[in-house]
Amino acid sequence: MIDRSDVEAAWARIKPHVRRTPVIELPGGSLGLSHPVAVKLEQLQVSGTFKGRGAFHKLVSSPVPAAGVIAASGGNHGAAVAYAARALGHRAEIFVPTISSPAKVARLRSYGATVTQVGAVYAEARDASEKRAAETGALIVHAYEDPGVFAGAGTVALEFAEQSRLDTLLVAVGGGGLIAGCATAIGAATRIVAVETEGTPSLFEARRAGKPVPVAISGIAADALGASQIGAPNFEIAQKLVADALLVTDDAVRAAQRALWDELRVVAEPSGATSLAALMAGAYRPAPGERVGVLICGANTDLGAIPT
């Protein structure tokens, strides 16, 4: 397990390689909300999502063999690993499921990675990647169960807390790496709330069962939040440091995407808008005076995919 000092050490290691993304403080009345909200534009991170932080941390803190690195991904983690590998001079091979969007696959290839599409869902792509790594000796960079990866992901919360005073942080969840890192970083002082779509409820169902359990994956955010089971170490952290897990509909996510574009001209993929959807749809209702922050955590989508 990791603690805040591990996230702080990760931040020091990756600062030369990643961007400090901006925070917009929106007054009440913005985005259809009656209360103020702080929005961190992490979709401006290298590779288009927060995943760049974890990928760089894994690669700068681990020995990388001549065979390079290998990863399985719905698209965003793979893009981050490919970007970091190219920047650091390593080969990258990425496995993605057939549900990955063409925009994400194109971005992977633009970073020079060898891309293999296999399996209907992330878990099948992960199995194929692990078999390939056993053959080649490449370093596996896991999307969310690697402490080095989620320590890097947690640096976004340290940065956010430095930029804005937060009582509560809403975080989208897939496999749980981002929320594990964020909770480790600032969960002792800040209320951390998980947000998932109804079609990707890995943490929500694990909390109901008291342990990670398989879930069926579907819906608008399946390519990014579609882990069929929450990571075990991530769930352990969430049990201690995450206050609640909420579900939102696909329609609520579409509405959040549209509001971000209409009002801020911010492009967010479905997973990137999921945390905001919880506020806009009323799944999370702040108390009077509560300082709420949301992460817009990714933007790897086509402009034509923004709902109208």
Residues 259 and 256: their CA atoms lie apart, in Å, by 5
How large is the average pLDDT for residues 33-40?
97
Residue 302 predicted with pLDDT over 80: no
Structure confidence at residue 86 as a pLDDT band (50, 70, 90): very high
Q: CATH fold of 52-140, please?
A: Rossmann fold (3.40.50)
The predicted-structure confidence for 108-140, as pLDDT tens digits, reads as follows 899 999 999 999 888 899 999 999 999 999 999
Higher-confidence position of 104 and 203: 203
How large is the average pLDDT for residues 96-101?
86
The predicted-structure confidence for 1-35, as pLDDT tens digits, reads as follows 799 999 999 999 999 999 999 999 999 999 999 99
How large is the average pLDDT for residues 241-250?
97
Phi-psi region of 275 (alpha: psi -120 to 50; beta: other; left: phi over 0): alpha
Taking CB atoms within 8 Å and a gap of at least 24, the contacts of 91-95 are 91/67, 91/138, 92/68, 93/68, 93/69, 93/129, 93/132, 93/136, 93/138, 94/70, 94/129, 95/70, 95/71, 95/125, 95/126, 95/128, 95/129, 95/132
The predicted-structure confidence for 251-263, as pLDDT tens digits, reads as follows 999 999 999 999 9
How large is the average pLDDT for residues 152-162?
98
Residues 28 and 167: their CA atoms lie apart, in Å, by 16
Residue 93 main-chain phi, psi, to 5 deg: -125, 125
Where do the structural domains in the chain lie, given as residue ranges?
4-50+147-305, 52-140
Which ranges of the chain would DSSP assign to H, the alpha helix? 4-14, 51-61, 76-88, 102-110, 122-136, 147-153, 155-163, 177-186, 202-209, 222-225, 232-241, 250-259, 270-280
Higher-confidence position of 71 and 303: 71
**Length of the chain (residues):** 308
Token pair belonging to 148? 């080095």
Interior CA angle at 35 toward 32 and 38, to 5°?
Answer: 95
Residue 303 predicted with pLDDT over 80: no
For the question of whether the overall pTM of this predicted structure is more than 0.95, the answer is no
Query: Do 52-140 and 4-50+147-305 fall under one CATH topology?
Result: yes
Residues 264 and 256: their CA atoms lie apart, in Å, by 11
Residue 308: the pLDDT is: 66
What CATH number has the domain spanning 4-50+147-305?
3.40.50.1100
DSSP-derived secondary structure for 36-63: -EEEE-GGGSGGGBTHHHHHHHHHHHS-
How large is the average pLDDT for residues 87-98?
95
Residues 156 and 298: their CA atoms lie apart, in Å, by 13
The predicted-structure confidence for 205-244, as pLDDT tens digits, reads as follows 999 999 999 999 999 998 889 888 999 999 999 999 999 9
Interior CA angle at 299 toward 91 and 243, to 5°?
Answer: 100
Pick from 156, 195, 190, 174: which is nearest to 292 by CA? Answer: 190
How large is the average pLDDT for residues 258-271?
95
